[in-house]
Structure 1
Amino acid sequence: MTADGPADLSGLKIDRDAPPPETGRLRRVLLWGAVTVLALGGAVLAYRAANPASVPVAVARAEPLGGVPGAGATEILTANGYVVARQRASVSTEVAGRLNQLFVEEGSRVRKGQVLGVLQNADQKSALASAHAALASAEAREAEAAANARETSLARGRAQQLHAKGLVSQAELDQAVASDDVARARVKSAEAEVRSTAARVESAQVDYDKTFIRAPFAGAVLRKEAEVGEIVSPIPSSGGLTRGAIVTMANLATLEVEADVNEGYVSRVHEGMRAEITLDAYPDERFPGHVRQIVPTADRQKATVLVKVAFDRLDARVLPEMGIKTSFLADSPATGSAAGTTAVAAAVAIPKRAVREADGRAVVYVVEGGRAVMRGVSPRPLAGDRVAVSAGLAPGELVIVEAPSTLGDKSRVRVK
């Protein structure tokens, strides 16, 4: 209050309906921030959709496989035969004797030089010990003779000095010289005896070693021919009482096929020719091979020529004496076109696990430009875990053999 009257307080009233002075600016900032975040999120999603993350995959290279029917090859001839080992032997002994020990069974894998069996060798062992004892005695006599020779040599030297001074007679000097010459001769005799005895030791060692039957090469034992207690000899007896071998073994790394080709068709076969081998034990699989040799003689009774076919790649399931059918293949001529001559595509071999199923058909994924490209194929079984593909793949292309279940056509991939 003042002296003139009560004060006017109407100006101090609070207007609650008026908006705050900074509220509009804050709203604009928040709105622009939200729009920016949404735009950035959309851009990230669009980039990820256009550029998906690469998938790690394992790959294998398609290997060329010539001689597959339907892929530049035509079956022109078939022949039956058997699987044989190029290196095969019936292992016998060098001396006759009774088999005392046998260390292998059918199927045993052995190294070159490994002991397969031992004959009774007590006599040979005793003879070897006696020879060693005789050698030790001869060496002792040689040492004794050498010592005596040194002694007589010194006596000879002293006698010569004393004779020069006139202290000994000529007879005494002659006796010292003769004794030295005899001692030297005895040394030579002892040395010769040592050499002779050493030779007898070597002979006894050879006789002892012959009682050990060793593997002539690395391989597998196919069959036992003798048992412990039987008499074996390099020359078996006609009565069957003496065995001529203890085991039959083969080098499984040299397995090949021997096929009998009718002599009327052998002109169609040549060395190096592609072939396909089908085992009677595995009729659904084909093993690629090639002609290694055409034996230059015919069998007049069967009117056939023996053809040897080597496997391109050996399989552990292939065993000696298995029955086989060999298909000999000839390359088909290239097919012409208006644009020129086009060669028939080569067949390839790929791992079996590279083949997948999509929409009821067999497919594979090929790596092209960092992406997985799906291709339809018609696989045929081969040896082991491989299949042959006659079309759709080229030699050297990379096929995916291991990938996540999310893998699809055109997926970005990264080779492990």
Structure 2
Amino acid sequence: MLAGKCTTTNSPASAHLNRDEESAVRTTWLVSLAAVIAALLWWQFKPAPVTNLQLHTIETGLVERISANSRAGTVYACTSASLSLRVGGRVSQLFVDEGERVKAEQLLLELDNAEEQARLALAQADLRAAQIEQQSACDSASLAKREAARAESLVQQKLVSGERLDQLETDAQLRALSCSHSQAMTERASAARDLAQIQFDSTKLYAPFAGTIAAVNGDIGEIVTPSPPGIQTPPAVELLDDSCLYIEAPIDEVEASKVSVGQQTRVTLDAFRGQVFTGAVSRTGTRVSALEKQARTLDIEVTLIDPPEEVKLLVGYSADVEIITGYADKVVRVPTEALLGGNQLVRYNPQSKRLEKVEVEVGLANWSWSEIRSGVTAGEQILTRLENLDTLLKSEVNPL
């Protein structure tokens, strides 16, 4: 009996399977190695946590909608006047200086008026003579009328003839006409006197109201002339009432529809830096100005409310005006500088310790504060300084 040999032969299918298993193991090992290397690299180069990052805690408060002047405003007097004489002449007397306070109807300036004074005196004498002539003529007319009346009664008694009565009645009528003529002459003389008085008064300049002398254009001995038609010349005296002042300022036409009389304002002046004055809109313009090379603006007037007595405002001061055209109190608000693109905030998520952008609905706003109607709540923390935002969004943060 023959003993046979036992031999083992590997099939091609088995060899291929072994090679696939080895490849899968190798692939798995390489993927795991790459993952480990990637994790090590990430750990080595990951952004360091940002520590002591200053955030703003959202709170509730007041938010105002504000309209401001587009160019500097100016302080004006409520009442002012540029005073000139109606006639020309040489200044003989000057009774005031710049900065002096005057009363209403106070004499400010007088021209050489010797000729006008003489004409006035002549007119007054003519009037007096006419009055005397009138009195004499009218007395004679009254006497002639009485004589004619007596003669009429005597005619009935046949003591005076009818012819004599006619003569007396005619004389009475003539004397009555003479009296009327004298009255007319008196009226004419009175009118001449009034004209002379006006011409004399025209050489004097009076203050139409109490105030302060802002400027005096002229001196004793100088010739002053009235302004010809269509030609503006400097006034003899400029007078203003500085007991009442207002501020005129232009605002952009876009803001014009939001402004109305009575709205509260805040006023600052370069002459009083650091001080804020309270005022109110007292008047708005009736039309928008369209000056060349300038924005279209509407002029408004603001009156200061109870300014401090120690503050001496001068006409011509420059002023800036903020008009409060709307407000909301006790609302969620954030610093306006924290808004990203006008409708986003960067909020801190305490669970992930990361910053995240959130959409918000903005209400009233000004340069300092913006009302947030939805998207965040009071007590949450937001980023207000948006520098290096891309880096901060990739890093963990630890608030200050």
TM-score range, shorter chain: 0.5 to 0.7
SS at match of 1:249: strand
Tell me how far 1:282 sits from its aligned partner.
0.9
Offset of residue 127 of structure 1: 1.4
- Seen in structure 2, the aligned counterparts of structure 1 residues 73 and 102 have a Cα distance that, compared at 3 Å, is farther
Name the SS for the 2:328 alignment partner: coil
Question: How many angstroms does 1:207 deviate by?
Answer: 1.9
Matched, 1:276 2:266: yes
Q: Does 1:245 align with 2:238?
A: no
Deviation of 1:279 (Å) = 1.2
Identity %: 29
In the TM superposition, what is the alpha-carbon distance from 1:289 to its structure 2 partner?
A: 0.8
Q: Paired residue for 2:251?
A: 261
Cα deviation 1:159-213 (Å, max 9, x = unaligned): 4455444454443333222222222221121122222212222222222222221
Task: In structure 2, give the amino acid aligned to 1:332.
Answer: Y
- Structure 2: how far apart are the matches of 1:156 and 1:89? 64
Question: Structure 1 residues 335, 197: CA separation in 2 closer, same or farther (over 3 Å shift)?
Answer: same
Counterpart of 2:324 in structure 1: which amino acid? L
Q: Alpha-carbon deviation of 1:246? A: 1.0
Aligned: 1:329 with 2:324: yes
Shift of 1:86: 3.0
Q: Render the CA deviation track for 1:50-104: whole Å, top value 9, x for unaligned.
A: xxxxxxxxxxxxxxxxxxxx98463734332211123222111122222222211
The answer on 1:312 being equivalent to 2:309 is no
**Any idea what SS the aligned residue of 2:104 has?**
coil
State the one-letter code of the partner of 2:330: T
Are positions 1:287 and 2:280 aligned together?
A: no
Rg larger in structure: 2
What is the one-letter code of the residue matched to 1:184? A
TM-fit CA distance, 1:147: 3.0
* Cα pair 1:299 1:305 within 8 Å, conserved: no
Q: What amino acid maps onto 2:73 in structure 1?
A: G
Q: How many residues align?
A: 266
2: distance between equivalents of 1:189 and 1:166?
35
Deviation at 1:233, TM superposition (A): 3.2
TM-score calculated relative to the size of structure 2: 0.59
1:90 aligns with 2:82: yes
Contact residue 78 and residue 241 of structure 2 kept, 8 A: yes
Deviations 1:365-407 (A, max 9, x none): xxxxxxxxxxxxxxxxxxxxxxxxxxxxxxxxxxxxxxxxxxx
The amino acid of 2:328's aligned partner reads P
| 1:24-173 matches, cutoff 5 A | 72=62, 74=64, 76-79=66-69, 80-173=72-165
In structure 1, which of residues 289, 297, 306 is the aligned counterpart of residue 288 of structure 2? 297
Deviations 1:26-49 (A, max 9, x none): xxxxxxxxxxxxxxxxxxxxxxxx
Q: What is the rounded CA distance, in whole Å, between the counterparts of 1:166 and 1:75 in structure 2?
A: 107
| Separation in structure 2 between the aligned mates of residue 273 and residue 260 of structure 1, nearest angstrom | 16
Measure how far apart 1:112 and its partner are: 2.3
Query: Is contact 2:246-2:303 (8 Å) kept?
Result: yes
8 A Cα contact 1:276 1:289, kept in partner:
yes
- Does the aligned pair in 2 maintain the 1:233–1:244 contact within 8 Å? no
What's the secondary structure of 1:83's corresponding residue? strand
Given that 2:155 and 2:162 are in contact with CA atoms closer than 8 Å, whether structure 1 keeps it comes out as yes
2:190 maps to which of 188, 198, 204:
198
Distance in 1, Cα, partners of 2:80 & 2:226:
17
CA distance in 1, matches of 2:227, 2:331: 66
In the alignment, the residues of structure 1 paired with residue 154 and residue 260 of structure 2 have an alpha-carbon distance, to the nearest angstrom, of 95
Residue 340 of structure 2: aligned partner: none
Aligned AA (1:123) = E
Name the amino acid aligned to 2:100: S
**Corresponding residue SS for 1:200:** helix
TM superposition shift of 1:125 = 1.4
1:212 correspondence with 2:204: yes
TM-score calculated relative to the size of structure 1 = 0.57
SS of the residue 2:192 aligns to: helix
Structure 1 CA distance, aligned partners of 2:61 and 2:187? 72
